[in-house]
Amino acid sequence: MRGTKPHMSPDPEAVANLAAPGWLSMHARAEWDRVMPILTERRILTDADLGGLENYCIAIGTVREMEAHLQEHGHVMQDIEGKMKRNPAVGIQSDAMTRARLLAAELGLTPVSRSRPAIRDEEDEDDLADLD
């Protein structure tokens, strides 16, 4: 996922402020409710993007759920032999953070992704053609 990402621009087929799917966890639904108005206002979210938004919200929900688990149980635990080992929730949370960061960039929810200029209209595509 390195390199130049495509720029975002308002889409005439952008979806309106949709309710969160009922099957999302409490934390994932809270993230949906937080970002949906932002994406609706920018008019960049289409039906084709809803799966990515769902996955982003699931990842954020997982991060928050694992943080609650880690706050309660700690980052390390004893195995049956009495040896200290990393709580598996640390790895789950780390993976979810990575997924959330990547998906947030795809959705235009990071400072860098928001700073990219919008895609120009197709009619402005070839500025050099007018130089004849």
From first to last of its 132 residues, the chain has per-residue pLDDT tens of 565 555 555 555 667 778 899 999 999 999 999 999 999 988 888 888 999 999 999 999 999 999 999 999 999 999 999 999 999 999 999 999 999 999 999 998 988 877 765 544 444 455 555 555
Q: Where are the alpha helices (DSSP H) in the chain?
A: 26-42, 50-73, 88-106, 111-115
Q: For the whole model, what pTM was predicted?
A: 0.77
The residues that bridge with 84 in the sheet, in sequence order, are 78
Could you give the CA distance from residue 84 to residue 35 in angstroms, rounded to a whole number?
Answer: 39
Spans of all domains in the chain:
26-116
- State which amino acid sits at residue 32: W
> Would you tell me how many other CB atoms lie within 10 Å of the CB of residue 45?
25
Look at the alpha carbons of 67, 68, 72, 73 in this order and tell me if their dihedral is positive or negative. negative
